[in-house]
A and B are shown apart, each in its own frame.
Chain A
Amino acid sequence: KAGVTQTPRYLIKTRGQQVTLSCSPISGHRSVSWYQQTPGQGLQFLFEYFSETQRNKGNFPGRFSGRQFSNSRSEMNVSTLELGDSALYLCASREGTSAQETQYFGPGTRLLVL
């Protein structure tokens, strides 16, 4: 099976702009989670979607939002970008929502905000 794919891989934006990142999970996986990875804070959970419904949300401002489509593909959007939003954004998928299920990660989208 193909792994988790994320597009684009690299992105440069300026402050105040908005950005949309895309994630395609492994075939058959219905749960998609998003994480932000920075050198200072490490990996922080943004949100999780399952069957088009948000199931969990991390402690991020409302500028960060997401959605999931009927084919399980997911997008996350960041509005009014700030310099501190520069990070690697990782998407992970799993079949269901059991806490024991392994999450499989994509390569990430590296966002640079100037």
Chain B
Amino acid sequence: AQSVSQHNHHVILSEAASLELGCNYSYGGTVNLFWYVQYPGQHLQLLLKYFSGDPLVKGIKGFEAEFIKSKFSFNLRKPSVQWSDTAEYFCAVTYSGNTPLVFGKGTRLSVIA
């Protein structure tokens, strides 16, 4: 079955620290990759997505992610986190042929002052 693994369950960082959240997906052919964020009490919203082309994609709020096909990975990065980045982050994938979104179990990020 298609699956997405997010290695870190809970990450705690100080403000201004750099962030990298891991995401690996199971092989299934052509993939479309997404990172969603869920701020406390808010809707899931899209941070960024990758379909094709430049494997380094930039999203909102200074986030970026790099698609590494050989490693089946799509890690999320931010050079300097802020307290307002405290949220839960979900990696998700769809495959060609209109498969539904498959989500990882999420990584909770806590940013402390």
Contact = CB atoms under 8 A, between A and B. Distances in A.
Interface residues of A, number: 26
Contacts of B46: 102, 104
A110 to B, nearest CB: 12
A43 B97 contact: no
Given A100-B32, A105-B44, A106-B43, A33 B101 contact: yes
Given A43-B90, A56-B100, A99 B32 contact: yes
Interface string A99-114: 1101111111000000
Interface residues of B, number: 25
A98 B22 CA distance: 26
A99 B98 contact: yes
Interface stretch (B12-20, B66-74, B103-111): B103-111
B103 A42 contact: yes
B102 interface: yes
Contacts of A55: 98
A54 to B, nearest CB: 12
A44 B45 CA distance: 16
A99 B44 contact: no
A42 B107 CA distance: 10
A101 to B, nearest CB: 9
Interface string B33-45: 0101000001111
B84 interface: no
B75 interface: no
A45 B99 CA distance: 10
